[in-house]
A and B are shown apart, each in its own frame.
Chain A
Amino acid sequence: MAIVEVRGLRKEFDEVVAVDGVDIRSEEGEFLVLLGPSGCGKTTLLRMIAGLEEPTEGQILLGDEEVNGLPPRARGAAMVFQSYALYPHMTVANNIAFPLKAQRTEPSERLEKVKWAAGLFGIEHLLNRRPRQLSGGERQRVALARALVREPSVFLLDEPLSNLDAKLRAAARDDLMEFQRRIGITTIYVTHDQVEAMGMGDRIAVMDHGKVRQLGTPEEVYHHPADTFVARFLGSPPMNLLEDEDFTFGFRPEHFLPEGVAPDENNRIPFTFFVSRIEYLGSERYLYGHITGHEETKVIAMLPATVTLPVTANRDHEFSVAQDQMRYFDRDQGVRIPPQPLRT
Chain B
Amino acid sequence: MTTRTRDRYLSDNPRFLAGVFMAPTIIYILALVGFPFVLAIIYAFTDITTGSPDLEFVGFDTFRAVLADPVFRRALANTFWFAVISNLFVVILATGLAELLTRDFKGKWFVRFLILLPWVAPVSLATITWLWTFDSIFSPIDWVLRQVGLISENMFWLGRPQLAMASVITVQVWRIAPLAAVIVMAGLTAIPNEINDAVAVDGAGPWRRLFQITIPLLAPIIAVAVLFGVILTISDMSVVFVLTRGGPTHSTQVLSTWAFFKGIEGGALGQGAAVALFLFPVLVGITAVVLRLARRREVL
Given A89-B217, A98-B204, decide whether A82 and B297 contact each other with a Cβ distance below 8 A: no
A38-78 CB contact bits vs B (8 Å, 1 = yes)?
Answer: 00000000010011100000000000000000011100011
Using a CB-CB cutoff of 8 Å, which residues 89-141 of chain A contact chain B?
Answer: 89, 98-99, 101-103, 131-132
B277-300 CB contact bits vs A (8 Å, 1 = yes)?
Answer: 000000000000000000001011
Q: In the complex, which residue of chain B has the Cβ closest to the Cβ of A53?
A: B197
Q: How far is the CB of A49 from chain B (nearest CB, A)?
A: 11
- Contact present for B204 and A88 (CB under 8 Å): no
By a CB distance below 8 angstroms, the chain A residues around B198 are 79, 81, 85, 87
Is B195's CB within 8 Å of the partner chain A?
yes
By a CB distance below 8 angstroms, the chain B residues around A99 are 202-203
By a CB distance below 8 angstroms, the chain B residues around A47 are 197
B178-194 CB contact bits vs A (8 Å, 1 = yes)?
Answer: 00000000000000101
By a CB distance below 8 angstroms, the chain A residues around B208 are 101-102
**Chain B interface main SS type:** helix
- Contact present for A77 and B203 (CB under 8 Å): no
- Contact present for B297 and A81 (CB under 8 Å): no
Given A73-B205, A102-B208, A131-B300, decide whether A87 and B195 contact each other with a Cβ distance below 8 A: yes
Using a CB-CB cutoff of 8 Å, which residues 205-234 of chain A contact chain B?
Answer: none
- Contact present for B200 and A72 (CB under 8 Å): yes
Given A79-B197, A89-B299, A131-B300, decide whether A73 and B203 contact each other with a Cβ distance below 8 A: yes
- Contact present for A87 and B200 (CB under 8 Å): no
Is A336's CB within 8 Å of the partner chain B?
no
By a CB distance below 8 angstroms, the chain B residues around A131 are 300
Is B140's CB within 8 Å of the partner chain A?
no
- How far is B127's CA from A127's CA once the two chains are assembled, in angstroms? 54
Is B216's CB within 8 Å of the partner chain A?
yes
Given A52-B201, A78-B201, A146-B202, decide whether A83 and B216 contact each other with a Cβ distance below 8 A: no
Is A150's CB within 8 Å of the partner chain B?
yes
By a CB distance below 8 angstroms, the chain B residues around A81 are 194, 197-198
- How far is B85's CA from A273's CA once the two chains are assembled, in angstroms? 84
- How far is B204's CA from A146's CA once the two chains are assembled, in angstroms? 13
Instruction: Select which of A85, A89, A101, A103 is within 8 A of B194 by beta carbon.
Output: A85
Q: How far is the CB of B203 from chain A (nearest CB, A)?
A: 4
Instruction: Select which of A79, A85, A89, A102 is within 8 A of B204 by beta carbon.
Output: A102
By a CB distance below 8 angstroms, the chain A residues around B299 are 88-89, 132
- How far is B201's CA from A81's CA once the two chains are assembled, in angstroms? 10
By a CB distance below 8 angstroms, the chain B residues around A103 are 203
- How far is B194's CA from A50's CA once the two chains are assembled, in angstroms? 13
B45-89 CB contact bits vs A (8 Å, 1 = yes)?
Answer: 000000000000000000000000000000000000000000000
7 CB < 8 A contacts A-B: A47-B197, A71-B200, A81-B198, A85-B192, A85-B198, A88-B299, A99-B202
7 further A-B pairs in the complex, CB-CB below 8 A; given A79-B197, A89-B297, A132-B300 = A51-B201, A79-B201, A87-B198, A89-B216, A99-B202, A99-B203, A131-B300
